[in-house]
A and B are shown apart, each in its own frame.
Chain A
Amino acid sequence: MHKTTALRAAAAATAALLTATACSTQRGQDAPDTAAGGACKGQHTTGITDDTIELGGIYPLSGPASAYGTISKGVAAYFEYVNDKGGIDGRKVRFIVRDDGYQPPKAVEEARRLVEQEKVFAVFQTLGTPSTAAVWDYLDKQKVPQPFVATGASVWGTDDKHPWTIGWQPNYVAEARVYAKYLTDAKPKARVAVLYQNDDFGKDLLGGFEKAVAGSGVKVVAKESYEVTDPSVSAQMASLSRSKADVLLDVTTPKFGSQALAADARNTKWNPLHIVNNVASSAAVLKPVGFEHVQGVVSATYFKDPADPHWADDPAMKTYLKAMHEHAPDTDPANQFNAYGWAVAASLHRALDSMKCPTREGLRDAVRNLKDVKVGLLLPGVTLSTGHGDAFPIETMQLMRFKGERWQLFGKPVDTRKEFGPLTN
């Protein structure tokens, strides 16, 4: 009795399983879409048709780095704005945002979802060095472009094994070169103390700076590192102050940037020229210290700050603010990350426009062959340029000094490519 019931059940289950496998296996053996003819024959056209283009992005919408998640809103707003105007070369953009919570394994999962399930044309932006490093091998194998990743590590440009991945923002070495150039010009005998975060970011910037000042009169006389998990950097600041250096290079993330600026302000016996790196230069970092304490601090930037009244009449900024108002009303357009997202999306737009073939290979080659491409929200003089042996789109930055209640640009944009030559490993 029991036996027959059980057997019957087993038979039914097996039959069901077999039917499911036979009928609708989701494991499509579909051949990858390829372009039909002409010069583009055989290239991959997954995710792009004559009137649509599918893009996927992976951002930390949750977790410790969720503040950066708003970049995706700037990007999405740009694509909606472009879609309203007819799309990119007649193609409407569908931009799919996925959350990885700043965890590499989630980034891998989401990248696979975007490539295999959503069948995107390109993974436009992964955020953070760990997540990007976790997926670039996979995307390379799948031959999916990973343009303009949101991290400043120099490895995306110096590596030659991953042609499908490329950065966008000035890498940390380029930023270090800007400060080195400024010091060798303005203070050729400067003695520099460095406070840096003990990870790839801090070491990239410090290493770039030391290389860039090598052979000049500028000397690094003291350096102190801290861990992201440290509660404060006051001990490091105290030991740096004993060096009596006349420049302090402050390579920190926002929280520690505030602490270092405050420690510098408190110490009246030591008054070095304080250079704070771009990552920690937002108003949110300076405000808690008190604007009166951070007068004369120097930093560098490359895109227009939406909160700066200086750009209020700038046409690109006006377009940005209007579009943000329309397409992303729940977010603050004055947030720099939104402007960053807008600018990087606009850059991708230019790259897509310049594709010789509307294929994945076309995009891969286009982002590596940009010639002085201008993007509205980038500072005047800052353009995108890549080419053979140069996989860093932006390598120009402009110095700025804090005055009154905001940053003021000074000097000319520094093209580190021209000043120091191409960056190699």
Chain B
Amino acid sequence: MSTIAVTLGTDRARRLRAALTVLLAAAVAVGAPFYFAPFQVFQLTMVLLYAVALAGLNLLVGFGGQISLGHGAFFAAGAYTSAVMLDRYDTGHLATLPVAAAGCFLLGLALGVPALRLRGLYLALVTLSLAVFLPPLLKRLEPVTGGSMGLIVDKPQPPAWSGLAEDQWTYFVVLAVTAVALLLARNLLRSRVGRALRAVRDDESAAEVMGVRLSLHKTLAFAWSAMFAGVAGCLYTWVIGFVSPDSFSFVLSVTLLAGLVVGGLASLYGPLLGAAFVTYVPSVSQDLSEAAPGVVFGLLIIAVMFVAPTGLAGLPGRVPVAVARRLSDVAARRPSGVSAVLHRTPPAASAPGPESPSRPGTRASEPLTPADPETVGAPPRTEKE
């Protein structure tokens, strides 16, 4: 009896804490553009839009266990859809968003077919070719895309009633889209699709035996993920107001993947951290060394991966474990104390636990929790091929 009461109590506290965290995050997110200088607001906007792309990539890489080096291409497709619509047809900004999203979803669905046959590094190579081949294609399609000179389009203008500056208005628009996109990604992962994806990642044969349709879910994962990248690309066009083929070199795809891994695979807020990393660290590394910012950036990536192999998002989960391990060495003489410390699970791991009484069916098909350092963002199993 008492254990149930305790569980319920902690559950309520956890929910309260979650609600407060969300409120606080919302307050900070809304307050930020009134506090920071316009150029810092612009940087925050870039973080948000990269987070959308990373959240999409996370569906595929983190939860689907497939590697894509071609997401820059979907990003570019979304950006160009928006730019061409604004430039040629003078549609409103908001009208370009659903078109870019739907277009990239279909594109992802079509290109998801190789994802059925290939996996791991082979799929990475095929998608890489996509990223390499798109910029020259955009240059060739000059009548539509403006060739290598690119297209300059108008940025969304704040309506008069809002009294906001252009950068603040853009920030809020992007913030709204990002919030919806991240929520969508979260709900997607908690739905049947998400569970099926994880099952496929961990063991294809087992998943198939359980009744998961492999082809459908793998293609869908690719399509969803492409859609997120397309939405991010569309936001990019709004924020920068300029697209050119050189903006979407294959370096972008690599940067996205690096950002995701650094931020934390298979984590819900890893994409935000990864986006912040790819936005801020290059300029920080430039302050450190003007001569070779690229080298410093690379070294910082290595440093992060060394300190936090599960990404920045996994760091809060790892620190208590590491501390506990240290403590257990020190307190080896007191076995009772050790077990108490060791059982203090990191906050992320405790998440599914209290949930289980209310939703008993969830745990069976959710074999993974993000805090398990061995399996977080488990790389695709190439060695079995």
A residues with CB within 8 A of B: 2-3, 6, 9-10, 13-14, 17, 20-21, 25-28, 61-64, 66, 97-99, 101-106, 108-110, 112-113, 115-117, 129-130, 133-134, 137-138, 153, 155, 198-200, 227-229
- By a CB distance below 8 angstroms, the chain B residues around A110 are 283
Known: A103-B247, A112-B42. 16 other contacts (CB 8 A): A3-B16, A25-B34, A27-B33, A27-B35, A99-B290, A99-B293, A103-B251, A116-B37, A129-B148, A134-B242, A137-B152, A138-B241, A155-B149, A199-B139, A229-B132, A229-B136
- Chain B 105-117, CB-CB to A under 8 Å as 1, else 0, gives 0000000000000
Complex Cα spacing A307 to B9, Å: 79
Instruction: Indicate whether A103 sits within 8 Å of B246 (C-beta atoms), given known contacts A10-B20, A129-B148.
Output: yes
Complex Cα spacing A215 to B16, Å: 82
Complex Cα spacing A66 to B290, Å: 12
Complex Cα spacing A44 to B152, Å: 27
Complex Cα spacing A65 to B228, Å: 30
Complex Cα spacing A106 to B282, Å: 10
Stretch at the interface among B22-30, B93-101, B217-225, B338-346: B22-30
| B316 sits at the interface (CB 8 A) | no
- By a CB distance below 8 angstroms, the chain A residues around B140 are 198
- Chain B 308-325, CB-CB to A under 8 Å as 1, else 0, gives 000000000000000000
B292 engages A62 (CB within 8 Å): yes
Complex Cα spacing A97 to B357, Å: 59
Q: List 8 A-B contacts (CB under 8 A).
A: A10-B24, A25-B35, A27-B33, A62-B297, A64-B249, A99-B290, A103-B246, A229-B136
Instruction: Indicate whether A133 sits within 8 Å of B34 (C-beta atoms), given known contacts A104-B247, A105-B240, A117-B39.
Output: no
A20 engages B37 (CB within 8 Å): no
Q: Which of A62, A97, A228 has the most CB of B within 10 A?
A: A62
Instruction: Indicate whether A2 sits within 8 Å of B13 (C-beta atoms), given known contacts A21-B31, A25-B35, A199-B148.
Output: yes
Total number of B residues with any Cβ neighbor in A under 8 Å: 50
Q: How far is the CB of B26 from chain A (nearest CB, A)?
A: 12
Question: Which residue of the partner chain A has the closest CB to B135?
Answer: A229
| B373 sits at the interface (CB 8 A) | no
- By a CB distance below 8 angstroms, the chain B residues around A117 are 37, 39-40
Q: How far is the CB of B260 from chain A (nearest CB, A)?
A: 18
B residues with CB within 8 A of A: 9, 12-13, 16-17, 20, 23-24, 27-28, 31, 33-40, 42-43, 46, 132, 135-136, 139-140, 147-150, 152, 236, 240-242, 244, 246-247, 249, 251, 282-283, 286, 290-294, 297
Complex Cα spacing A130 to B28, Å: 35
Q: Choose one: A2, A25, A105, A106; the contact of B12 (CB below 8 Å).
A: A2
Complex Cα spacing A28 to B24, Å: 25
Complex Cα spacing A104 to B150, Å: 11
- By a CB distance below 8 angstroms, the chain A residues around B249 are 64, 103
Instruction: Indicate whether A130 sits within 8 Å of B36 (C-beta atoms), given known contacts A17-B27, A63-B294, A104-B240.
Output: no
B292 engages A26 (CB within 8 Å): no
Q: How far is the CB of A200 from chain B (nearest CB, A)?
A: 5
B27 engages A130 (CB within 8 Å): no
A199 engages B147 (CB within 8 Å): yes
- By a CB distance below 8 angstroms, the chain A residues around B236 are 105
The 7 closest A-B pairs by CB, nearest first: A62-B294, A112-B39, A2-B13, A199-B148, A116-B39, A134-B242, A130-B246
